[in-house]
Amino acid sequence: MNIQSAIIQGAQILKNKFFLNSYLDSEILMTKAINKDKKYLLLNAQKKIEEKNLDFFYKLIFERSKGKPVSHLTNKKFFWNLEFFVTEDTLIPRPDTELIVENILKITKDKSKLSILDIGTGSGCILLSILSERRDFYGTGIDISKNCLKITNMNAINLKVHSRLKLYKSSVDKFTLGK
């Protein structure tokens, strides 16, 4: 079976489960299954897909058909023009949340060397997006989940803002640093 045929079949499975973006979801899951980007799909649509990759693709389609988010299946989510690693341990960053980043950047446009506290940092998308825009800002992220803090740390390293970030495993009620 070629790549295009598999994508169409995957999209049909998802469409039958009433997924609105079934074709797009199928394409994204195919990029994960064959470990290539969307350009590759377009340029190689007629290329035969390896059996192991096809099996993995159908496994992803099956998981998606049960309602699992695409971002959790691919472990990726774009937020503020940055790519974040996400897992089931983190909330998936929403486009509406970008308004928070936008407003913080607007409010702090004439500020320098600010320290920002992110409570319940999750994947770190808000704090790390701000740090990527403001090179002289520093951030502290707290979360009660050790796994979330690991993910935030990974994202900070990938975005090269790790040196300006401190992470703490704590609830907001028990966090006393700087009080």
Q: pLDDT tens digits, residue range 68-109? A: 999 999 999 999 989 999 999 888 888 899 999 999 999 999
Query: For the whole model, what pTM was predicted?
Result: 0.80
32, 49, 93 from 29: Cα distances, Å: 5, 14, 19
Cα Rg of the chain (Å, integer): 19
What span, in angstroms and rounded, lies between the C-alpha atoms of 22 and 15? Answer: 5
**From CA 91, how far away is CA 38, in angstroms rounded?**
25
* pLDDT tens string 20-72: 899 999 999 999 999 998 899 889 999 999 999 999 999 999 999 999 999 99
What pLDDT does 20 receive? Answer: 86
> Alpha-carbon distance 81 to 59, whole Å?
29
Q: Which pLDDT score, from 0 to 100, does residue 179 have?
A: 52
Other C-beta atoms lying within 10 Å of the C-beta of residue 32 = 17
